[in-house]
């Protein structure tokens, strides 16, 4: 009777390893998150799968530099959403991102991007002060960016829309501390603009997972750069 207890899982395990066996030779890859589109090819060949990418954006960072998707082309970046006067989860969230940053501060393959969801308050001088107080002296390594550097009336809508694209919930909420409700998601984006990982910054295990998965993505990007042909799609 007892034997059967052990035999069944052993059998199941051997079946599963049988399934994954051939793949063990390939390098582990992070999934591509988001909706995917299957486009039939005009010539009747096998359909193309179009993976979701971060939509086009145009931001201004604490140094006054305009940053767009192109700023991050060929590099990985980690994005989150915060606001400078946030008394809720932001200090915890930014503290966690600071831990990740401190490990990669000198690695040009990964960049950091924090979007303010309170563009009306977080002007460029406020963002600059915030970055300096966090100890970030090089704006090109960690951008603190706004959609409203020039007082755009749509700045708030733009950043909330962008947050949704990064799978972060952010919206104005009078009940929430500081006037905005949002969650502390870190989004890991690859060199082609695909989101490859989402991590809850308030959970230490999730931050550890980010630290564990980031090298996998960087290796994939390095491999892509080594074979320039592969990056043409």
Residues at the interface with another protein (CB under 8 A): 85, 87-89, 91-92, 94-95, 98, 130, 132-135, 177
DSSP 179: G
CA 107 distance to own-chain centroid: 17
Burial of residue 232, with CB atoms counted within 10 A of its CB: 0-12 exposed, 13-18 middle, 19 or more buried = exposed
Residue 102 CB, shortest distance to another protein, in Å, is: 11
Round to whole Å and give the CA distance between 49 and 40. 9
Closest residue by Cα to residue 78 from 130, 142, 134, 12: 142
Residue 135 CB, shortest distance to another protein, in Å, is: 5
Q: Which residue, 40 or 177, is less far from another protein as judged by CB?
A: 177
Residue 96 CB, shortest distance to another protein, in Å, is: 10
Burial of residue 103, with CB atoms counted within 10 A of its CB: 0-12 exposed, 13-18 middle, 19 or more buried = exposed
Q: Which residue, 36 or 103, is less far from another protein as judged by CB?
A: 103
Q: Which residue, 33 or 97, is less far from another protein as judged by CB?
A: 97
Q: Which residue, 68 or 132, is less far from another protein as judged by CB?
A: 132
């Amino acid at each position: 009777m007892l034997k059967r207890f052990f035999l069944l899982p052993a059998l199941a395990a051997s079946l599963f390893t049988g399934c994954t066996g051939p793949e063990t030779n390939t390098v582990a890859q992070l999934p591509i998150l988001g909706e995917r589109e299957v486009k039939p090819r005009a010539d009747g060949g096998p359909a193309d799968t179009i993976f979701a990418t971060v939509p086009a954006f145009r931001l201004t960072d604490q140094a006054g530099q305009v940053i767009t998707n192109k700023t991050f082309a060929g590099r990985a970046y980690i994005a989150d959403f915060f606001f400078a006067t946030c008394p809720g989860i932001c200090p915890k969230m930014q503290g966690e991102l600071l831990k990740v940053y401190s490990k990669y501060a000198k690695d040009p393959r990964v960049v950091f991007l924090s979007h303010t969801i309170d563009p009306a308050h977080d002007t460029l001088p406020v963002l600059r002060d915030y970055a300096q107080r966090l100890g970030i002296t090089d704006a090109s390594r960690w951008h603190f960016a706004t959609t409203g550097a020039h007082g755009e009336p749509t700045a708030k809508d733009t950043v909330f829309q962008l947050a949704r694209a990064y799978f972060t919930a952010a919206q104005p909420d009078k009940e929430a501390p500081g006037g905005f409700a949002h969650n502390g998601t870190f989004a890991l984006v690859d060199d082609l603009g695909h989101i490859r990982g989402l991590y809850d910054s308030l959970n230490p295990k999730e931050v550890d997972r980010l630290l564990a998965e980031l090298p996998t993505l960087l290796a994939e990007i390095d491999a892509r750069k080594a074979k320039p042909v592969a990056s043409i799609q």
